[in-house]
Amino acid sequence: MNTTLTDSRQSAAGRPPAHGSREAWLQAHPYLRPMESIEQALDDAARVLLAAARALGCEAQSHRHDGVPLLSRAPAGTYAAAADLLDLLVARLARSEALPARLRDACHDLDAAFRRSAAEPRRAVAWLLGGDEAPSHPELLYTLGWMAMSRAVASAAQDPAHGNDDPWDRPYCPTCGAPPSMAQLVTSGEGRRRLLVCGRCRTRWGYQRFGCPFCGNERQEDLRVLQVEGDDALRLDTCEACLGYLKTYAGEGEESLFLLGWTTLHLDVLARERGYENTGASLFEI
């Protein structure tokens, strides 16, 4: 079933979502500016540590046939790369004038902790992956840590968008094991394929075209498409059986804008307003 959603804030502004560039999107959604500053700092840090961010190397492909997520058996260099990226990212954010004062102060606290002990960034990464020792500012560190981890594993996570050799086809991420937070529909030789998108490490992987990845429900009457008014590229795919939802980008070419999670927070608001639950792993809670 297809239903049209109205984003009241966009309607009040008298304009549909802007496409064509990240800057145009941010002009239409100015509340996203702090996240853009964090993303830019991460880009800068990744360029500085480009060699470290390729730490996974040849571990990338063999795991996809046995159902074991890559990070559960990744080499130690992977975690070192993520820790180095996190360290540099936090240091840059602690000095950023583009962030709100409260967020900058929290980054300053984390940076001070990292400066006191060179082992602290690695302990933070270990905590991300299931360690018991809770760090200071855990919510912020969870977001920044997984953003750093996403770059550290980027070269190892196979991208299936332009090929059919994707043996994973499971409802959890092949890299970190998390449930998906988004989806994308891409053109293939057989029509359109669905890729699931991890909200933690940003891996994409192929999955069956129909059905709920959260509860496995395939009853057509329970699966709904909620289209955002004025924007054919974005929609919500929902399941009435478990009340889960997937933000879905039904286009190609603007992945670097629409698959980041934070750029489509208005879809999370619309879903929550209608009683749906974010059962995927997301770094950005509404």
The answer to whether position 233 is within a domain reads yes
- Tell me the C-alpha distance between 86 and 45, whole Å: 8
Strands 180-188 and 245-249: parallel
Report the 3 state secondary structure along 103-145. Answer: HHHHHHHHHHHHHHCCCHHHHHHHHHCCCCCCCCCHHHHHHHH
Domain boundary among 126, 152, 178: 152
| Structural domain for 94, as ranges | 33-152
Global pTM?
Answer: 0.78
The answer to whether position 282 is within a domain reads no
The answer to whether position 95 is within a domain reads yes
- Tell me the C-alpha distance between 177 and 40, whole Å: 26
Nearest CA to 252 out of 160, 157, 184 is that of 184
Domain boundary among 152, 184, 200: 152
* H or E element at residue 11: helix 8-13
128 and 219 part of one domain = no
Task: Read off φ and ψ for residue 3, nearest 5 degrees.
Answer: -135, 145
Contact 277, 181 (CB under 8 A): no
Nearest CA to 147 out of 132, 130, 126, 125 is that of 125
Q: Is the pLDDT of residue 161 over 80?
A: no
The answer to whether position 278 is within a domain reads no
Contact 262, 32 (CB under 8 A): yes
Q: Is the pLDDT of residue 248 over 90?
A: yes
DSSP 49-102: TTTGGGTTGGGTTGGGGTT--GGGG--HHHHHHHHHHHHHHHHHHHT-SSS-HH
Q: Residue 266: which CATH number? A: 3.90.1670.10
179 and 111 part of one domain = no
55 and 143 part of one domain = yes
91 and 178 part of one domain = no
The answer to whether position 281 is within a domain reads no
Query: Residue 46 has what pLDDT?
Result: 73
Query: Residue 40 has what pLDDT?
Result: 82
203 and 265 part of one domain = yes
Domain boundary among 109, 137, 152: 152
Q: What is the pLDDT of residues 26-71, one digit of tens each?
A: 888 888 888 888 888 878 777 766 554 454 444 444 555 577 888 8
The answer to whether position 210 is within a domain reads yes
> How many domains are there within the chain?
2
Task: Read off φ and ψ for residue 163, nearest 5 degrees.
Answer: -165, 165
Q: Which two tokens stand for residue 155?
A: 């070269």
Q: Is the pLDDT of residue 114 over 90?
A: yes
Q: What is the pLDDT of residues 220-231, one digit of tens each?
A: 999 999 988 777
115 and 82 part of one domain = yes
Q: Is the pLDDT of residue 2 over 90?
A: no
200 and 260 part of one domain = yes
Q: What is the pLDDT of residues 73-100, one digit of tens each?
A: 766 667 888 898 899 999 989 988 888 8
Residue 58 CB: number of other CB atoms within 10 A? 7
Query: Residue 14 has what pLDDT?
Result: 32
Contact 83, 121 (CB under 8 A): yes
43 and 120 part of one domain = yes
